[in-house]
């Protein structure tokens, strides 16, 4: 994927993001972080200890992404969790999590 950063704009692949769009996404992430951090941490811990499935809604550059599985590892130093899905395992950054459903 090609990335080119210019003044007040960002090109990612064939998509253009204006500075306003980038700021809006950052503010939305910050708002969700403050509001739901305790709930997110609780759900991750519950999935880890009980090995119960969980659904993550993640921020993407252009939209939201959904992934489901069981939390198998928590890396507090790098702020990420390892999720075992049906096909594979995937590391998810805590900063990319928008919402969690149990």
Q: DSSP H helical segments within the chain, as ranges?
A: 19-50
Residue 2 has pLDDT above 60, yes or no: no
At a CB cut-off of 8 Å and minimum separation 6, what does 2 contact? 11, 12, 13
14-32 pLDDT, tens digit per residue, is 455 566 666 666 666 655 5
> Which pLDDT value is given to residue 96?
84
Q: 8, 18 in Cβ contact below 8 A? A: yes
48-89 pLDDT, tens digit per residue, is 999 999 998 887 766 778 899 999 999 999 999 999 999 999
Q: 92, 56 in Cβ contact below 8 A? A: yes
Full-model pTM: 0.65
């Amino acid at each position: 994927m090609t990335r080119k950063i210019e003044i007040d704009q960002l090109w990612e692949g064939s998509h253009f993001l204006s500075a306003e769009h980038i700021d809006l996404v950052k503010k939305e992430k910050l708002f969700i972080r403050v509001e739901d951090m305790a709930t997110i941490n609780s759900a991750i811990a519950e999935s880890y200890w009980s090995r119960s499935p969980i659904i993550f809604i993640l921020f993407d550059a252009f939209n939201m992404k959904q992934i489901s599985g069981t939390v198998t590892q928590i890396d507090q130093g790098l702020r990420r969790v390892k999720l075992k899905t049906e096909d594979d395992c995937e590391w998810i950054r805590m900063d990319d999590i928008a919402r969690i459903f149990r």
